[in-house]
Amino acid sequence: MEIIEWWPKLDPDARAWLIAHNGEAVVPDVLNKIAAVAGSAHEVGESGPDGLVLSDEDVDWIEARANDESD
């Protein structure tokens, strides 16, 4: 599932965390929230040394949203 599909389904706290910690490994609480709306967190992230991280494309997408940029 693409980020554009699951992002609006996340609660505001999870979205705020992802914006504030963009590019970092996703903490378990937020990971669970992503899995709840996306079906599986592993479908939206990549395994990294510190845990699951979002793809570079998703990190860029979040940064654009945080900066109020359009597609």
How much is the pLDDT for 68? 83
DSSP conformation letters of 37-50: HHS-GGGTEEEETT
- Statement: residue 39 has pLDDT above 90: no
Which sequence spans correspond to the domains of the chain? Answer: 3-66
Run of H or E including 15 = helix 12-20
Give residue-wise pLDDT tens across range 5-18. 999 999 999 999 99
Opening angle at CA 15, ends 14 and 16, nearest 5: 90
Using pLDDT thresholds of 50, 70 and 90, give the confidence band for residue 49.
Answer: confident
Please provide the average confidence, as pLDDT, over all residues in the chain.
88
Separation in Å, CA 6 to CA 16, 41, 44, 50, 65: 14, 10, 9, 23, 14
Q: Compute the average pLDDT of residues 11-26.
A: 95
Tokens of 14: 């999870």
Q: Compute the average pLDDT of residues 47-56.
A: 84
Bridge partners, residue 27, by sequence? none
